[in-house]
Amino acid sequence: MDSGPASRSDASGATAAALGRVEAAFDAAVVAAMLRCAAARPEVEDGGRLLGFLEQAPDAAGPVRLRIVALLPPGPRARRSATMLFQDGEWQDWVFDALEPLAPDVRYLGSFHHHLSNGYDRFSEGDVAGYRAFLADYPQRFNAFLGVLMHRPFAGEPGRFHEFLTRHCRVALITPDALVPLAPERITVTPGDAAQGKLLRDAIAARTGRDMPWQLRRERAPFLAALREHLLRVGEPPRITLNSDQDITFTAGPYAVALRTAFPGKVALRAEGKEALLDIEHFDPRTLTHGL
């Protein structure tokens, strides 16, 4: 099961005739990234978002071409098991924000994941529900989402990438009320040497393996608001320090609370020479001035 939000696009409807004209062109670098992803964690579901460009033929009756140029990893807080993948949508949107200035027309076009860990050779109900939830929150211009599911291993040569996509994967367009398989002749693999695609892949690689700045995570907002309110109430402004790892520490008297990028979802409380990690949602800000 693949789930997790992320995207921005214009909305309008999709007709069966329009979906029948859709073509998907994958950069070879994207297909290679899919295979590396599957090889790295075959024991759990894994994948990522498919990014690229929507190209409409000059003739309105002509094909819509999805040009897929990058695979965006699921993010540092993605949750994986043998039967599910929940992507880190917050992190993906943070990376996407950095890509838009480089290519204003870039879009989330779909999602890739594999079922090597469970052998299920179809999109699960959870997969389809997740894609439809995505469309409900972030409708595409033609209101369809490209799903690519790898359901069996592939050990072929790079020149056989089309075989991989058409015989080892399910490739389909998911709409709010239908799942439309993409015919093999409408799937192509291109060399992927265009400068724009490489620019986006390099920008993604520069952020992969790094968490987003802690202050941009939604979970931090309630914590910071509660901490600020308590400190204003007791009249004890904290000393705030930020280190090179983007860890931020609040110190008030003998007590200190640190938000560390290495421990997402946690706060580190230091008091009386000891340190404890606590879940951020369970942290009581009074601890900063009164101790454990």
Biggest distance spanned by C-alpha atoms of the chain? 73
Burial readout 18-53 (b: 16 or more C-beta within 10 A, e: otherwise)? bbebbbbbbbebbbbbbbebbeeeeebbbbbbbbbb
pLDDT tens digits along 263-273: 877 888 887 77
Angle, to 10 degrees, between the axis of helix 195-207 and the axis of helix 28-40? 30
In tens digits, the chain (292 residues) has pLDDT values of 776 654 444 334 455 667 778 999 999 999 999 999 999 999 999 999 999 999 887 666 667 899 999 999 999 989 999 999 999 999 999 999 999 999 999 999 999 999 999 999 999 999 999 999 888 877 655 678 999 999 999 987 777 999 999 999 999 999 988 999 999 999 999 987 789 999 999 999 999 988 887 667 776 777 777 777 877 787 778 888 888 877 888 888 788 888 887 787 788 888 777 888 888 777 777 777 776 5
Tell me the sheet residues that pair with 52: 68, 107
CB 94 within 8 A of CB 216: yes
Task: Give the residue ranges of DSSP H helices in 208-291.
Answer: 220-234, 287-290
CB 211 within 8 A of CB 91: yes
The answer to whether the pTM exceeds 0.85 is no
Rounded Cα distance between 236 and 250, Å, is 11
CB atoms within 10 A of CB 59: 7
